[in-house]
Amino acid sequence: MTPETSEKTLLRSRLLGARAALLPEFLVESAESFARQGAELPELAGASTVAAYVSVGREPGTRALLDALHARGVRVLLPVLLPDNDLDWAAYEGPDRLARAGRGLLEPVGPRLGPEAVCAADAVLLPGLAVDARGMRLGRGGGSYDRVLARLVRDGRDPALVVLLYADEVVGRVPEEPHDHPVHAVVTPEAVIRFRAAAAPTA
């Protein structure tokens, strides 16, 4: 384990502990704010296709935002976790077209479009636990979205990369490894934080 990996593990533990202490009423209120802020974000509102995800547990709530984008006619792609931790994709067709899957996830029930479908996205809503002042994102460590970002690079795509976070998850520094890539913007319940043009990820 590298020092950076060890630092990430400790930071993940602290952030997940803080999320576990969040009150239900705060989660409801923040989800409404995420939907409002996110729906007004030009990178999402102006996109024809957005790759996103369904929040679960105490993650920053995405469901109202998914519905708002879907209602506008934005094509929303949602991930389907594969056995090797890679992601397939399927179109979001509404909350009644989501099914329980492994690891407590909710996944779309429509036709699978293949891992390469994400390359059609104009914007990608990435899950995360923290982002720092450089735009570096800390994920949960499964590597699924590292593969997504590498796939976008191989296809020559440069979509807007956006993360939803609670305000105290925008931190001073995230431990960085060679495969990590910066994002373009963070949406919190209170504000949108933009970073200088994120460097294009490299495989």
Residue numbering of the annotated binding site = 8-12, 54, 59, 137-145
Annotated binding site for ATP: 8-12, 137-145
Contact 12, 4 (CB under 8 A): no
- Residue 110: closest CA among 126, 81, 89, 127: 89
Binding site members for substrate: 54, 59
